[in-house]
Amino acid sequence: MAFLSLFLIYTGYFVFFETIWQGQTPGKYIAKIRIVRDDGRLLSIEQAGLRALVRPIDESLFIGALLIMFNKSEKCLGDLVAGTIVIQAQPVATSVNLTISE
């Protein structure tokens, strides 16, 4: 029962944040990365769920890291299954108009 509870909390964390925060968890926000669909659209709850369910396999024996290193598309197993990709989050560019006096 405790194992099931921990698994639900662990997977729920990723599904919740990646769905609500447009592909980011607090850690991904700090690292300035996000998860999007292969076509660039926002992540769906189904895709976040698939990634979360496959995450334990990705993390065991470094399978995800090996796939990222040796796969041309640099995707872990969760990304391959869910049809997603990790991208660098673009900071919001604000233009500031400064008036320079003589």
What is the identity of the amino acid at 81?
V
What is the spatial distance between Cα 25 and Cα 27, in angstroms, rounded to a whole number? 5
The pTM of the full predicted model, rounded to 2 decimals, is: 0.78
pLDDT band at 50 (very low <50, low <70, confident <90, very high): very high
70, pLDDT greater than 60: yes
Residue 35 has pLDDT above 80, yes or no: yes
Question: Do 61 and 72 contact (CB within 8 A), yes or no?
Answer: no
Beta strand extents in the chain (DSSP E only): 33-37, 84-88
The ranges assigned to domains in the chain are: 2-88
Q: Comparing 50-59, 70-79, 88-97, which segment has the lowest mean pLDDT?
A: 88-97
